[in-house]
Structure 1
Amino acid sequence: DSEALFALISSKGIEKAIQMLDGDYAFACACDGKLLLARDPVGVKPLYYNTGAGFAFASEKKALYAIGMNEIYSLKPGYMLTYRAGKINEKRVSGFNAGEQITDENTASKMLYNAIEKAVKKRRYTPSALAFSGGLDSSLIAALCPDAELYSVGMAGSHDIMQTKKAALLLGMKDKLHLHELTINDVEASLPDVIKAIESCDPLKVSIAMPLFFASKDAHNDGIRVMLSGQGADELFAGYKRYESMNHTELQSALWNDFQNIAENNLERDDAVTMANSVELRVPFLDKAVVELALRIAPELKIHNGTRKYILRLAAQEILPQELAMKEKKAAQYSSGIYSALQKLAKKNGFRGERFVARYLGKLEEALL
């Protein structure tokens, strides 16, 4: 990959080369007496830098903290940073082109299915794993990648565990399902590793990261180094419940805002927790062609008669059983049962009152510093 990239830069120039890239990347390039950093337009891959005494960059914040650099910045998705003679310049060099709006649901669903199918095909790897919750997004990827091993993690008896068993059966992939039912002791023992990996003690981030931490760890132990994820579908196709009350204009604005912040809110966390187990996370829904198509699809096709992700559900019916295509979403931090476990652990350790889970996790993070 690196050789092909730098050959492209040599022949086309840095900006043109970046604009020609189709994939997830974060890289640095030294040329003509300057240092260039670049990050993919979604921000799937993280890239941090510091401008204190000198200049340094890394894919993890902790690497910069380790050399005494505390003012750390995240390079914005789609941007290129140039560092030369102590001066920094940032410039947006890649993004997405949204064409004419698509309002016909048959046209939109067929185009969307084809785009997602191609995106999954591009990211398939043998052997590969899938972070599987049994919901619409991961079930669609599973159906399009039937040779993938399905990894599901949750508290024993949780919604996710029950849902994944049923979904794998409906998909005819029961023999591919790897279930990891956690105990509260498992959660407690893994908290330092998860907090250290994601560099955050935020309860929401920790509760979402933990199942992915165990899933990628299990995949690594099985000799798998690539894991697919359904990340991004909610922001592109209106999967969150809070979108339901919005009019079309408000929905368009909210979706775009959430998509622009997906790197900071979700992707940096997910990349960190999987890379902690030496597993590369790949996200088909954030493929450039899928994103550009999603931006063209009219908001009334994303929420239709109260059904969230309506157009994605229509597209999924090409390959999924009706029961899975129309499956309602449950928030990840609650469906796995992890957040409830964190509450119990916080109380067990004497924390009560306002933000008691956050204070408990903050105490654990302090011990890691």
Structure 2
Amino acid sequence: MCGIAAVIGRGGAQSIHSMLQAIHARGPDDSATTFVGDQAALGIQRLSIVGVESGAQPFVRRSRLHFVCNGELYNYQTLHSAYSKMHSAPRSDVEAILDVYEQQGMASLPLLDGIFSFVLYDAVKGTFLAARDRFGVKPLYYIQDDDRWYFASEVKALMQTPGNVKDVRQVPAGGFVNPAGVGLYHCDIPRPMSAHQPAVLFALLEGAVQNQMQADSGIPIGVFLSGGLDSSVIAALAARSRPDIVAFTIGMEGSPDVIAAREVASYIGIHLVECCFNPMDVEEGIYEAVRITESYNTMIVAEGLMTMLLAKAARRHGIKVVLCGEGADELFAGYGLFRGLGCEEFQETRRAMLANIGNTECRRLDRATMSYSVEARVPFLDSRVVDWAMGLPKSSLHQEDQGETTDKFILREAFSDLLPPRIANRRKVSFDDGSGILAHLEQFRAPLNNALWTREKGWAVANVKDEVACYLFRVWRSIYGDAGGADVFQLFGEYPIMQSVLTEQRLTSGGTGEDAVNLALLDRFHVTRDTVPLTITA
């Protein structure tokens, strides 16, 4: 994993060094740039995991193709064997992207299996290609300023350029940007129905976990373990081949997540590091959480702070790579909002939440972990797992029995033998609730007087509709100014799908955690159900 930056167009190359400095934490192992006359500059802050000794970027191929990439390519050996004209081993996993691109051009994009964002400049044709992985796990933002383009892994790097920050946009998940415009290379297509076969799910997810543990020898791997079903499944699968894997959990002493994580770690026989926090950590960490997540969305900021503390602990223990359970709630319908939906709406909501995960859970996960130079990987978002699971009928995901709903039914069934029974049947508890931070959310409130609140709630484009959102947006704006312009909410404040559910007041009490969190937030911040704030999410 890395932080990348690029300037395409004459006269802007001098910005590249300050852009890289702004995202130094994403890759402290090495910093390098390449300049193509006055036509382009590409740079990288490298976090060395695969090809530690040989994989330094930027790559320059035959003095023509200049390339920087942030991410991991899981099928690089297959691609290198099929497309490389060189007989030597690849210098790193992402170099295989050049192998494919040289022969397939734009058609290479759907062949890439991994989490990535990259910028490629063709010095002969004077053209470029910027692209992002299927689910947008890895970020990539840009500004187009007349004939000049600025690209970077984070907005804070684009703030170092002379480009107009109001014009900040992001490369779409499964999409690309080139001189002709913005497009998508991945589009969901109807897939055949998958039979209810827990053994198939087990094999697919086990393969994904194995695939995503790739790293050079000597690179330790960890796992974020909340004690919930999703992270426990990932930890149990990883421990089967890496019994030395280290798990990290966070919470107040005696919080549900800490208790559950202890039980899982003991059951599967791995070492657990417990990260504790106190009210002062919350109070002092809010500004930094907003700065790092580049968001003023309540959920992303609050959970981002918890993830930052986990990543800090992981790095302190020498961990560069962590496996995580993100994606399971979207894929297996774990959120309470799925309850009561008809089959068609149920499936459409799954698809929509998965399509937006790069703006929600993966956004929070990437920024929080990379701020401490830790790479987070998400086995549930492996393409084979996703394609098979999205073919499952509602009955495989939600089972009704005497008025009680068991969610993620097939996931529980597939992995019940690997987990303690209580964990295999544990109801979903949201991260902020299970860790104990919910009890301290009151500290998000700034001492806003009525006059200040009345004046500032007029930021219509930011969708600021309550005191908490007002406070977080004020912090965000003090750092990022007018970034995003009229699209500021869509880029930095929204939690897609979940927001609309809250606004439509469709949540029902289902004991899955986020319902209670929403009600508690509404109560804490004195917001009525008739004016549900768009920036308070679950």
Q: TM-score, normalised by structure 2?
A: 0.63
Q: Does 1:319 align with 2:319?
A: no
Q: Name the SS for the 1:328 alignment partner.
A: coil
Mark the structure with the bigger radius of gyration. Answer: 2
1:18 to 104, 109, 112: 109
Contact between 1:225 and 1:278, CA under 8 Å: does it hold in 2?
yes
Contact between 1:237 and 1:302, CA under 8 Å: does it hold in 2?
yes
Q: Which residue matches 2:327?
A: 232
Amino acid at match of 1:63: A
Q: Does 1:285 align with 2:358?
A: no
Q: Which residue matches 1:127?
A: 220
Q: Which residue matches 1:74?
A: 170
Moved more, 69-78 or 88-97: 88-97
Contact between 2:194 and 2:389, CA under 8 Å: does it hold in 1?
no
CA distance in 2 between counterparts of 1:98 and 1:333 reads: 35
Q: Does 1:360 align with 2:474?
A: no
2:291 to 174, 179, 196: 196
Q: Does 1:187 align with 2:282?
A: yes
> Cα offset for 1:2?
3.5
1:51 to 144, 147, 168: 144
Q: Name the SS for the 2:227 alignment partner.
A: coil
Amino acid at match of 1:39: R
Amino acid at match of 1:114: A
CA distance in 1 between counterparts of 2:183 and 2:297 reads: 31
Cα displacement string for residues 1-25 of structure 1 (whole angstroms, at most 9, x for unaligned residues) = 3322212211x22223222211111
> Cα offset for 1:358?
2.5
> Cα offset for 1:172?
3.0
Q: Does 1:295 align with 2:390?
A: yes
Q: Which residue matches 2:530?
A: none
CA distance in 2 between counterparts of 1:179 and 1:40 reads: 32
Q: Does 1:7 align with 2:99?
A: yes
Higher relative contact order (CA 8 A, sep 6+): 1
CA distance in 1 between counterparts of 2:99 and 2:155 reads: 29
CA distance in 1 between counterparts of 2:133 and 2:357 reads: 13
> Cα offset for 1:171?
2.8
Amino acid at match of 1:156: E
1:251 to 346, 358, 367: 346
Going from structure 1 to structure 2, the CA distance change for 1:307 and 1:351 (only over 3 Å counts) comes to: farther
Contact between 2:315 and 2:374, CA under 8 Å: does it hold in 1?
yes
Contact between 1:203 and 1:339, CA under 8 Å: does it hold in 2?
no
Q: Which residue matches 1:65?
A: 159
CA distance in 2 between counterparts of 1:265 and 1:122 reads: 24
Contact between 1:137 and 1:230, CA under 8 Å: does it hold in 2?
yes
Going from structure 1 to structure 2, the CA distance change for 1:269 and 1:14 (only over 3 Å counts) comes to: farther
Contact between 1:79 and 1:93, CA under 8 Å: does it hold in 2?
yes
Q: Name the SS for the 2:109 alignment partner.
A: helix
Cα displacement string for residues 147-203 of structure 1 (whole angstroms, at most 9, x for unaligned residues) = 321111123332222222233233333xx1111110111122222221111111222
Q: Which residue matches 2:254?
A: 157
Cα displacement string for residues 72-123 of structure 1 (whole angstroms, at most 9, x for unaligned residues) = 111111112112xxxx3223223456532024x2x2x111110100000011
CA distance in 1 between counterparts of 2:187 and 2:133 reads: 8
CA distance in 2 between counterparts of 1:40 and 1:299 reads: 27
> Cα offset for 1:266?
1.8
> Cα offset for 1:51?
1.7
Moved more, 164-173 or 220-229: 164-173
Q: Does 1:112 align with 2:201?
A: yes
Going from structure 1 to structure 2, the CA distance change for 1:188 and 1:341 (only over 3 Å counts) comes to: same
Going from structure 1 to structure 2, the CA distance change for 1:47 and 1:366 (only over 3 Å counts) comes to: closer
Contact between 2:260 and 2:423, CA under 8 Å: does it hold in 1?
no
CA distance in 2 between counterparts of 1:75 and 1:321 reads: 42
Cα displacement string for residues 204-242 of structure 1 (whole angstroms, at most 9, x for unaligned residues) = 111111111011111111111111110000001000011
Amino acid at match of 2:353: D
Moved more, 196-205 or 280-289: 196-205
Moved more, 226-235 or 18-27: 18-27
CA distance in 2 between counterparts of 1:345 and 1:292 reads: 39
Going from structure 1 to structure 2, the CA distance change for 1:89 and 1:362 (only over 3 Å counts) comes to: closer
CA distance in 1 between counterparts of 2:327 and 2:187 reads: 16
CA distance in 1 between counterparts of 2:419 and 2:441 reads: 34
Q: Which residue matches 1:93?
A: 185
Going from structure 1 to structure 2, the CA distance change for 1:351 and 1:151 (only over 3 Å counts) comes to: farther
Amino acid at match of 1:162: I
Q: Which residue matches 1:34?
A: 127
Say which structure is richer in helix: 1
Q: Name the SS for the 1:130 alignment partner.
A: strand
Mind listing any 5+ residue stretches in structure 2 that lack a counterpart?
1-92, 454-464, 481-538
Going from structure 1 to structure 2, the CA distance change for 1:16 and 1:362 (only over 3 Å counts) comes to: closer
Going from structure 1 to structure 2, the CA distance change for 1:117 and 1:286 (only over 3 Å counts) comes to: same
Contact between 1:98 and 1:295, CA under 8 Å: does it hold in 2?
no
> Cα offset for 1:46?
0.7
Amino acid at match of 1:62: K
Amino acid at match of 1:77: A
Contact between 2:303 and 2:364, CA under 8 Å: does it hold in 1?
no
Q: What RMSD, in angstroms, separates the aligned Cα atoms of the two structures?
A: 2.0
CA distance in 1 between counterparts of 2:378 and 2:368 reads: 15
Moved more, 34-43 or 330-339: 330-339
Q: Which residue matches 1:137?
A: 230
Q: TM-score, normalised by structure 1?
A: 0.91
Q: Which residue matches 2:399?
A: 304
1:338 to 437, 445, 448: 437
